[in-house]
Structure 1
Amino acid sequence: MTKGLIFIFDHIDFAILALLKENSRIQWKDIGQKIHMTGQAVGNRIRRLEDLGVIEQYTIVTNKAKLGLSITAFITFFVESTNHPLFQKFVMEEEAISEVHRISGEGCYVLTGHFATNEELEAFLAQLLKHGNYRVSLSIGKIKS
């Protein structure tokens, strides 16, 4: 994207995004029927949003508990060295970790992990200790996705 340019988004763009968030597989013609546009016009809007980087990817959300991953851990991580790339490589390769955010405030990163058992969580945390210290909070219930 060119630096300094301002892009204007209107209510139609936001309506399209809302419908895609509900169902990323929805057909353009179905979106068009809901917002009173042709499928082709919707497709043009979606391509523009993709080209501008507003839409980064299409994905699915799975129910981790139904897949046997009933433990959700939020891990605040404190890197002990300046070797952040080694830590980043480790978490990027770890399947149990679904999100990693670099943060300000207390800690360096927040990780979201999903584990089948406490033993799996403990094994991951043992590996994590090679890179620094951590604090873990466990989810006791999901309120909103």
Structure 2
Amino acid sequence: MQKTANRQIDQIDRKILSHLQRDGRMAVQELAEKVGLTISPCLRRVRLLEEAGIIRGYSAVVDQARIGLPISVFVQVKLERQREEELQRFDKALARFPEVVEAYLMTGVCDYLLRVVVADLPAYETFLRDKLTRVEGVRSIESSFALKQVKSTFALPME
């Protein structure tokens, strides 16, 4: 058993999480059958996982190319300084940019690694020119364009 945020995670919880990661719309009855519980204890466990923040929410996985956003750009950003004030300023700026779908504070050669999703190269240029380069404290930006997505999953390994 693994303890997470005052909540013990056992094998049944892991099975629940595994099934919900693959199908978040699964009916409780079907989920209960798959994990070997009756409906009430299964629903109770799901609610406890939600309350503990282990299950953060549910959403639809949308195909970015099919909605006109086929371009993923991985952007390495270096800041002038890594003081708390500058990091917070940059974090707040990123929160305002819907094109940034993932952002990580990094160790190593860059301070941040971003995944930016746009419709085309002119849209990326506009994002870069009108938004990212205008954030105070940005020293350098390096962009790499994804040619093909080889794997994408939101499911965490539950073994």
What is the TM-score of this pair, normalised by structure 1? 0.89
Structure 2 gaps of 5+ residues are 153-159
1:76–1:136 contact (8 Å) kept in structure 2: yes
1:128 maps to 2:132: yes
Deviations 1:46-71 (A, max 9, x none): 11112222111212211101111111
| Per-residue deviation, 1:8 | 3.0
Q: Which amino acid aligns with 1:93?
A: R
Equivalent in 144, 149, 153 of residue 142 of structure 1: 149
Equivalent in 80, 90, 93 of residue 90 of structure 1: 93
| Per-residue deviation, 1:118 | 0.2
Q: Does the residue aligned with 2:8 lie in a helix, a strand or coil? A: coil
Q: Distance in 1 between matches of 2:7 and 2:97?
A: 37
Q: Distance in 1 between matches of 2:57 and 2:107?
A: 26
Q: Distance in 2 between matches of 1:137 and 1:9?
A: 39
Structure 1 gaps of 5+ residues are none
2:5–2:52 contact (8 Å) kept in structure 1: no
| Per-residue deviation, 1:120 | 0.8
1:76–1:107 contact (8 Å) kept in structure 2: yes
1:77–1:134 contact (8 Å) kept in structure 2: yes
1:29–1:40 contact (8 Å) kept in structure 2: no
| Per-residue deviation, 1:33 | 1.3
What is the TM-score of this pair, normalised by structure 2? 0.81
Corresponding residue of 1:73: 73
| 1:109-124 alignment runs, 5 A limit | 109-124=112-127
Inter-CA distance 55–5: structure 2 relative to 1 (3 Å threshold): closer
Identity within the alignment, %: 26
Instruction: Tell me the matched-pair count.
Output: 142
Q: Does the residue aligned with 1:129 lie in a helix, a strand or coil? A: helix
Q: CA RMSD in A?
A: 1.8
Corresponding residue of 1:37: 37
Deviations 1:9-37 (A, max 9, x none): 22111110011001111111110111221
Question: Which of structure 1's runs of 4+ aligned residues deviate more than 6 A?
Answer: none
1:78–1:134 contact (8 Å) kept in structure 2: yes
Corresponding residue of 2:9: 9
Q: Does the residue aligned with 1:78 lie in a helix, a strand or coil? A: strand
